[in-house]
A and B are shown apart, each in its own frame.
Chain A
Amino acid sequence: MSSTYLIGVMSSNVRNVELVSEVLKKEGYRTRGVNSIIDLDDLLKAPERPSAILLDLSGFDRTIWERCERIREAQIPFIIISPNPHVNVKKEGIAQGARGILVKPLVIKDLIQLVRSLLPR
């Protein structure tokens, strides 16, 4: 059952976190929203590890790539959400092990499908 899955949602914009969480909750997922790198570190250390993570890059500097590596090491699938379709972001993202790169604004249907594909059946 998908309802058991916990999804981590990270964005510096509080409203973005709220909106994505609402969408995912409607699909039956549980979510945990984080707004900073420190919060993300806490999420990774928490006893219940998320089954997938959505990372909105806006507002973060290059240290975010370091965290991506950590997420990959923890074997948590993640998606990068980018404010622009820049080719470097794509390259770096894939190199860091992202399972997909989405460019804002997202289409809700596509997001749900991608999240579903990240999770074990």
Chain B
Amino acid sequence: MDGKMQDGRLSTGITGLDEVLVGGFLPGRSYLVRGGPGTGKSTVGLQFLIAGADSGEKVLYITLDESKTQIIKDGEKKQFNMKGLSFLDLSPTSEFFSKMETYDIFSPAEVEREPITRQIIENVEKLKPRRVFLDAITQFRYLIPDAFQFRKQVVSFLRFLQENGATVLLASEGSKEAPDEDLQFLSDGILELKYNGGARTLSMTKFRGSDFQKGDHSLKLDSTGATLFPKLVPGAFRQDFLPDTLSSGIPELDELLNGGLERGTVTIITGPTGVGKTTLGSLFMKEAAGRGERSVLYTFEENLQTLLQRSEAINIPIHTMIQNGSLSVISVEPLQYTPEEFSRLVRREVEVKGATIVMIDSMSGYKLSLGGADIIPNVHALSKYLANMGVTVLLINEVEAITGEFKATEMSISYLADNIVFLRYIEIDGELRKVLGVLKKRLSSFQRTLRELEVTKFGVKVGKPLSGLRGILSGKPEFIKKTE
């Protein structure tokens, strides 16, 4: 990875973080990396140093807690190239404990400060590092108990590093025992790391002299290190596209939709289980494939094999579509991704592979799999982004009720949709039948009648408008008796 970015910014070494920092860290500044245990402070610091070392910069890791050997071992486990790193290991050796090196005659501040300061000065002056990571600055607070002196010392320490040409990352626990409020004022930027049960997040709360992407971004720590998945900001994306209408390939359905679905709109296809929502969405993808366009189907619930078989059985040539690259079916396992991570996957499909239709099957699967409590803002951002990019979005929404009082969705997502197509079971003369209707269409008028839907091995059939029936939405329609 290249250490230097545009306008002299320094790459953070973390995919996604450079994007949040609109390019990277500003050189010669100091940044506070705050967070509790296990939030990824050391990994963020380490990757920052490695990014520099990989492009030939001199970098220095000052450690006060973990030993150099341990850091190298952990780094190599993650396949990092630890060769270019210089270390200043100020962590206590085991002898401190075993050889009774404890003392009580002077305060630790009096005894330890001077040798530590001296070692740092010697190392920095000798190495002249471009990047320094200090883990953790809050340790210094034990050495300088007086708040005023601590602040003065830190300011002077940072100035010393900067005068020597270094960009500095300071890890801070921000605990009650070692508070860091003053450090937050002193630093040029703050990276706030959090770990709340399932998900790790990183948010930038301060970045002097630069813009940055706000919000809690999803941070992933795994065997290869840290990766950041920035929150999707739909406003930042826009692509010109032809405002044409996508046909379903079924004249009756197109008629109902006044020609079809407009490109770059969000459509919710809603209905109870087994009524044919996915099938209906697939029709638009089949047509798109015929035009040489590419679609992506994210399936959260259905087994891939079942989906393929089912589609083939109703005359949707899904195998061929996948083979010729006009369709990609991606099965998402529960808790595999965070919402931000998923958004990044979708972005890659759109920006790199040029997908023009994205179908999410289904909303409840999305909610369960991505484990987010408030999925609506995420779905909103994703749909908005896709619409801005000229991608047609199909959101499959399952309603619990098979029949009975009509409800468009049960997740308060109707407001997101430009179009809502609903499917229903109705009972006519003791027989369960399917109907289809349009509830909302923002960009054009639509037919208000309902039509019968049949899914057969020859494909999907949409009938003539159902007339002579009333109470269809209640699920128990009655024939309107003709008055003699």
Contacts of A56 in B (CB 8 A): 105
Give residues 3-24 of A contacting B (CB, 8 Å): 11, 13-16, 19-20
Out of B100, B101, B110, name the residue touching A105 (CB < 8 Å): B110
A105-B102 in contact (CB<8A): no
Cβ-based interface call for A74 (8 A): no
Which bucket holds chain B's interface residue count? 10 to 19
A20-B105 in contact (CB<8A): yes
Expressed in whole angstroms, the Cα–Cα distance for A108 and B111 within the complex equals 9
A83-B104 in contact (CB<8A): yes
Give residues 70-105 of B contacting A (CB, 8 Å): 100-105
Expressed in whole angstroms, the Cα–Cα distance for A20 and B102 within the complex equals 14
Cβ-based interface call for B106 (8 A): yes
Shortest distance between the CB of A77 and any CB in chain B (Å): 19
A13-B106 in contact (CB<8A): no
Cβ-based interface call for A99 (8 A): no
Expressed in whole angstroms, the Cα–Cα distance for A14 and B103 within the complex equals 8
A15-B100 in contact (CB<8A): yes
Contacts of A58 in B (CB 8 A): 104
A15-B106 in contact (CB<8A): no
Cβ-based interface call for B107 (8 A): yes
Expressed in whole angstroms, the Cα–Cα distance for A58 and B111 within the complex equals 19
A81-B100 in contact (CB<8A): no
Shortest distance between the CB of A65 and any CB in chain B (Å): 21
Most A Cβ at <10 Å: residue of B101, B103, B105, B111: B105
A19-B111 in contact (CB<8A): yes
Contacts of A107 in B (CB 8 A): 106, 110
B103-A16 in contact (CB<8A): yes
A108-B100 in contact (CB<8A): no
Q: How many residues of A contact B (CB 8 A)?
A: 16
A14-B105 in contact (CB<8A): no
A81-B105 in contact (CB<8A): yes
Out of A11, A14, A16, A108, name the residue touching B110 (CB < 8 Å): A108
Interface string of A70-108 (1 = CB under 8 A from B): 000000000001010000000000000000000011111
Shortest distance between the CB of B308 and any CB in chain A (Å): 73
Identify the closest chain A residue to B111 (Cβ).
Answer: A19
Expressed in whole angstroms, the Cα–Cα distance for A99 and B103 within the complex equals 24
Identify the closest chain A residue to B105 (Cβ).
Answer: A16
A15-B103 in contact (CB<8A): yes
Contacts of B100 in A (CB 8 A): 13-15
Give residues 210-226 of B contacting A (CB, 8 Å): none
Expressed in whole angstroms, the Cα–Cα distance for A13 and B101 within the complex equals 9
Identify the closest chain B residue to A15 (Cβ).
Answer: B103
Contacts of A20 in B (CB 8 A): 105
A13-B110 in contact (CB<8A): no
A15-B110 in contact (CB<8A): no
Contacts of B111 in A (CB 8 A): 19
Most B Cβ at <10 Å: residue of A15, A16, A20: A15
Expressed in whole angstroms, the Cα–Cα distance for A71 and B104 within the complex equals 24
B101-A106 in contact (CB<8A): no
Identify the closest chain A residue to B109 (Cβ).
Answer: A105
Expressed in whole angstroms, the Cα–Cα distance for A107 and B106 within the complex equals 7
Expressed in whole angstroms, the Cα–Cα distance for A15 and B111 within the complex equals 11
List the interface of chain B (C-beta within 8 A of A).
100-107, 110-111
**14 pairs, A vs B, C-beta closer than 8 Å:** A13-B100, A13-B103, A13-B104, A15-B100, A15-B101, A15-B102, A16-B103, A19-B106, A19-B111, A58-B104, A83-B104, A104-B105, A105-B105, A105-B106
List the interface of chain A (C-beta within 8 A of B).
11, 13-16, 19-20, 56, 58, 81, 83, 104-108
Q: State the 5 A-B residue pairs at the shortest beta-carbon distance, nearest first.
A: A105-B107, A16-B105, A15-B103, A16-B103, A105-B106
